[in-house]
Structure formats: C-alpha cells, structure tokens
Amino acid sequence: MELLELTVAAKAMAGLVVLYLLIMAGARAIERGLMYFPDPQRTAPAAAGLAGVEEIAIESEDGASVLAWWGRSQPGNPTLLYFHGNAGSLEQRSERIRKYMARGYGVFMMAYRGFSGSTGQPSEEANVGDAKRAYDLLVSRGVAPRDIVLYGESLGSGIAVQVAAERSVAGIVLDAPYTSMADLASLHYRFLPTRLLLNDTYLSDTFIGRVRAPLLIVHGEADDIIPVDMGRKLYALAEEPKEIVTFPGAGHSDHYLFGSYDTIYDWLERLSERATEPRREPPSAAVR
C-alpha cells in the first residue's frame, strides 16, 4: 500500500512538473502578446482633429515602416520626442498632442511596429532602434539636440531612457516609469520565473545612470500597474539634475486629473530658461 501511494504521489508530482513546464513554455511563446496591445488602425492626424500635424514614415533597414505624428514647435520652444505606452494608438493620444502644441511645444509621437498603421511586430530591439531613428530624423530635419526633450509614457519610459543614454537631449520626462520589465513581470506573475522567460527586459535601472540630461519623473501614488516605488527607485539611481513629483490618489494613467500637466509645463519652462541663460565664465585669477 505504501509503495502504491508513493507511486501515485510521484506521478502526481511529475504531472505538476510537466504542467509547470508547459505553462513556462507557453508564457515565453506569448510573452509579447502579454506585453504589447496594439491598435493597428491607421488614422490621419486631421481625422483626429489635429491641425498642423503631419504623418511621417520612419523606414528601417529591415523593411519596416513606422509611423509618427509631428506637430512642429513654435520658435524658441522644444520638441517632445514622445514614446507612448503598450496599448492603443496615436489617435487615442491626440488630446495630449493638442495640449502640448497649444503651449507652443512641438510633439513628435512615434507609434511602435504593429500600432497605428506601422508595419512589423513590436519588440524591445525594434522599438529602441526605431526610437533612435526617430531622433536622428528630427536632427536631420533641423531640430537641434538641445531642443529635443524625450517623453516616455509607461512602457515608453524604458525606451526613452535607452535613447537618452546614447543621444544628446535637452531633458527627459518619465511618466509612470518602471525599473525593469523583469521587475514588473515578477510583480504581476509571481508564480513564473519571469526573469528566465523574458526576451524584452527594458532594463531602465541599468541605463538610467548613463543619462546626463535633466530628468523629471511623474507618477501616481495609487498606480496599481507600475508601483510608485519603482519610479522612486529609478529617481534614486539617476544623476542630477533630477526631480520627481508624485500625485496622491492618482492611478496609472489619470494623474493629469491631479495636475501633472501643470507640473510638466512648469518643468519645461524652467528647462527652457536654463537653456537660454548666458554661460558664466569663472572669475580670472588675481595677478600677483
């Protein structure tokens, strides 16, 4: 009887192991399906009610065509190179473009592959590579690095950090950022060894120390998607100059209801003022 019970227990354990392995294999296979939720619908900026905004195609070496909406800045104002979150479309963020342009800021908002009419499939390698091409395109069309401010929304924060680590920019805004996708996946999928399964890790906590541009982090304190503690940890790892503003009661994507636009406007204005301040030469040494 004991031998029979051991055999049954062993078979049950073996079955659980096999089931767990199947779950892990399935999780790895559908990883990007759990990370990216594209709306593939292509919409013209004018159809979204945006005047003075044009659609730009960013062509990659592997044949993908990534679309972006570009509204130019008024003279003397920076352009936000904007990387959005993991779901939706450019059209769904048209109000953000409208608000920033109404303040005189330019916005170049890039869709990821598979989003908003862009071809191909999203991945960390593709998204970061396309983001760098978007930066290079802006520079090639006359927008100076000192006039480019990176804006990373949620997923896009990990892209913005990697671009800022390799490109010269005036500043960087991180909206509800995470330390890494591995940390975030471990939080939401505790029963899986997510660090072994992930292809797209977005290691912002590794790259943030290489960023030398002024940094602003905005985060809702009631964010149940990306905890505010991740934003605070990323802030602690960043170099000066840096600021963090958190909003009590705000969730993942509603902090604009709690005043985040005004916070960002104020920071951008101060950033522009610092950029136009004349350089002060050190005093000459007295001749003795």
The reported pLDDT for the residue numbered 62 is 94
Give the model confidence (pLDDT) of 15-63 as tens digits.
433 334 334 444 444 565 679 999 999 999 999 999 999 999 999 999 9
Residue 264 has pLDDT above 60, yes or no: yes
Mean pLDDT, range 212-231, rounded to an integer? 98
**Alpha-carbon Rg of the chain, whole angstroms?**
22
Buried b (16+ CB within 10 A) or exposed e, 260-274: bbebbeebbeebbee
Quick one: tokens of 165? 């680590």
Mean pLDDT, range 253-268, rounded to an integer? 97
The reported pLDDT for the residue numbered 187 is 81
Structural domains of the chain sorted by starting position, each given as residue range(s) with its CATH number in brackets? 36-274 (3.40.50.1820)
Establish whether the linkage from the previous residue to 78 is cis, with ω within 30° of 0: no
Give the model confidence (pLDDT) of 140-190 as tens digits.
999 999 999 999 999 999 999 999 999 999 999 999 999 999 999 888 666
Q: What angle do CA 89, 249, 164 make, to 5 degrees?
A: 50
The reported pLDDT for the residue numbered 18 is 39
Mean pLDDT, range 182-206, rounded to an integer? 79
Mean pLDDT, range 204-222, rounded to an integer? 98
